[in-house]
Chains A and B, each alone.
Chain A
Amino acid sequence: MNPLPALAAAASEKATQSGPTLAVSDLRISAKRDRKSVELLRGVSFHVASGETLALVGESGCGKSITSLAVMGLLAPGLSMSGEVALTDAGGRIDLVALSAAERRKLCGRRLGMIFQEPMTSLNPMQRVGDQIAETLTTHGICSRQEAARRAVAMLDRMGIADPGRRALALPHELSGGMRQRVMIAMAMIGEPDLLIADEPTTALDVTVQAQILELIRDLSRERGMATLFISHDLAVVADIADRVAVMYAGEIVETGPIDQVLDAPLHPYTIGLIASRPALSTERRARLSAIFGAVPEPGRRPQGCAFHPRCSLAKPGLCDVGDVPLKRFDGRDVRCLRVGERVQA
């Protein structure tokens, strides 16, 4: 059943448990604009093992959502992609790029689950939420309708919704934002996926509800041993939930490593800026609270050299504005900055 035991063993060594691992390597996505091809994602690589949560963090427009949609196979038809996306477990390796539409549909909902950003619009306004949760099960013919309905109610119960039997009969507009997001999570979880993608699941919610939802996602991903890809534009949000973090800027990962290291001692100037602009995270240096000046370059208007150099106070002419900057291993992390070594001493 397993033609490459050595490879599988290597993979499970990396994973905390021997469950499935998502590996994305050199993912590139481009769009056609005015008959020119514009690169939106410039070679993104990461992996998430089962039981582990990787946070993908970056400003609006840096390519977080298209990364997750590429993994789900839901990219808009106008976008083209290259690179590898694979789900590996003890049973072998599934190449998610090579799948036919029908094969992919079998995986979506059962092995890949996704929570969307907008709980207000991601539920069908005309269907009872119980039916929508049960739909994953009935779509895949996992169980009978009655059984699916029963499991949907049980799932709502697990989501911490009081009186789940009655709530299952509600239409989305009869529920609060937090409750709708719980419904969305139930929808993603009911198929017991190996990989959960949460694309800014709390952005639309107020702070207290946000904390509850984060806790719920964290508990569920621990409980089920899922690999979790958690997307956010907010480092504070991911501090509690993630094991590792990948910071993205203009379609590239600029820094990736264990969450505590990155938060405590960020290396890339962009990460430093992100943290400094969050008062809650930089308690000691609250006085130096600052925003990053300038704006993210539009795709297609990417500057030469390091994409961040026009906004970077450490940028050195003749060094940072020429050539491509590779990801370099430094202090247990990967960082895309040419001055990373120098700066630590300076």
Chain B
Amino acid sequence: MSIANVTSTSDRAPEKVPDARWLGLLKGLWRHRLGRAGCIVLAVLVLVAAGADWLAPHDPTEIYYDYILVAPDSRFWFGTDELGRDIFSRVLFGARVSLQVVAAAVALSLVIGAAVGLISGYAGAWIDNGLMRVMDGLMAFPALVLALAIVAVLGPDLLNAMIAIAVVNTPGFARLVRGETLVVRELDYVQAARAMGASPLRIVARHVWPSVSGNVLVYGSLKASAALITESALSFLGLGVQPPTPSWGYMLATGMQYTQAWWMSIFPGLAIFLTVLGLNLIGDAARDVIDPRTQR
């Protein structure tokens, strides 16, 4: 082969390219106007969650007996709750719980769901049938009912709530990825990869997954907001975070029983809203960025 006379231009041969995709996605998100807004919102939330110990003016579990249901003022910025705890501090610490649960649950369901979907869609035949029956079975129950049942079996705590949310969300990822895989595996460039002797594993890893991962990320960010809401519901029912650890969902739910103390529900509600907004902004931006044909 005539490779000896490589021209000098080839000194710039691509070497750093593989795995630069995630970095590229982050860069792209940053360049995207709404994506940047979403990133900032989420970054602030993460910083708040991480730095709650330093940022919070009060201990989130400390009870000020003389300050029950105090409206926001200079001492309690977001007011106090029915037990006299500082809501601002509780919202900060609540970010930690909520983000942890949501991130872990969504990551878990994404990984399992994507693996199931890729195997199912690419292998087809009885493997597909078997896996999809299981996913259908999980999907047959309403999400919250299934999550409740799982927590009821495993016992109420934060880890189990997370597992329950992950299980509930897995079939959605699996179905999405399977559907996309069925389309992508018939594409010409996948056929071309087969013609060059690539193994099924390699084709799935190098061609199918990168082609479907964009939509998975978009879906994942939307699912993250759903997971946040499920987490809130579980915590409200006493099946998630155990009191007195603060959680937005629990705070919101309790606050709704004290309609005259609007600050009890408005601040955790706002926190949930901001998180969901940030996630959705990132999801939409990721969809734009990941498809090179829509890139500007």
| A-contacting 9-mer, from B153-161, B188-196, B232-240, B248-256 | B188-196
**Cβ-Cβ contact count across A and B, 8 Å cutoff:** 130
Interface string of A178-200 (1 = CB under 8 A from B): 00000010011001100000000
Chain B contacts for A315, CB-based, 8 A: none
Chain A contacts for B191, CB-based, 8 A: 74, 116, 122
Chain A contacts for B296, CB-based, 8 A: none
Interface string of A298-319 (1 = CB under 8 A from B): 0000000000000000000000
Nearest 8 A/B pairs, CB to CB:
A165-B9, A108-B197, A109-B197, A109-B196, A153-B10, A121-B188, A122-B188, A149-B13
A-B contact pairs, 24 of them (CB 8 A): A108-B195, A113-B196, A114-B195, A116-B195, A121-B189, A124-B189, A124-B193, A127-B210, A135-B196, A135-B206, A139-B196, A139-B198, A151-B1, A153-B7, A153-B9, A154-B10, A157-B6, A164-B7, A166-B12, A169-B14, A169-B17, A171-B292, A188-B196, A192-B1
Closest A residue, CB atoms, query B9: A165
- B162 CB to closest chain A CB, in angstroms? 32
Contact A149 B197 (CB under 8 A): no
Q: Given known contacts A116-B191, A146-B15, A165-B13, is B3 in contact with A151 (CB within 8 Å)? A: yes
B142 at the interface (CB under 8 A from A): no
Within 8 A of A (CB), among B189-225: 189, 191-199, 202, 206-207, 210-211
- A196 CB to closest chain B CB, in angstroms? 11
The interface of chain B, by Cβ under 8 A from chain A, is 1-3, 5-7, 9-15, 17-18, 21, 124, 187-189, 191-199, 202, 206-207, 210-211, 292-293
Chain B contacts for A152, CB-based, 8 A: 13
Q: Which of B5, B199, B206 is most buried by chain A, counting CB atoms within 10 A of its CB?
A: B206
Q: Which of A108, A110, A118, A123 is most buried by chain B, counting CB atoms within 10 A of its CB?
A: A108
A171 to B14, CA, bound (A): 12
Chain A contacts for B198, CB-based, 8 A: 105, 109, 135, 139
- B148 CB to closest chain A CB, in angstroms? 41
- A111 CB to closest chain B CB, in angstroms? 9
Chain A contacts for B15, CB-based, 8 A: 145-146, 149
A30 to B193, CA, bound (A): 25
- B14 CB to closest chain A CB, in angstroms? 5
A139 to B21, CA, bound (A): 20
Contact A136 B3 (CB under 8 A): no
- A124 CB to closest chain B CB, in angstroms? 4
A125 at the interface (CB under 8 A from B): yes
Closest B residue, CB atoms, query A158: B2
Q: Given known contacts A122-B188, A124-B189, A131-B18, is B7 in contact with A157 (CB within 8 Å)? A: yes
Other A-B pairs, 15, CB within 8 Å; known A150-B3, A153-B9, A164-B7: A105-B198, A109-B196, A109-B197, A112-B195, A121-B188, A124-B189, A126-B21, A130-B13, A135-B206, A136-B196, A139-B197, A151-B1, A151-B3, A169-B17, A188-B196
Chain A contacts for B189, CB-based, 8 A: 121-125
Chain A contacts for B7, CB-based, 8 A: 153, 157, 164-165
Contact B210 A109 (CB under 8 A): no
A118 to B5, CA, bound (A): 31
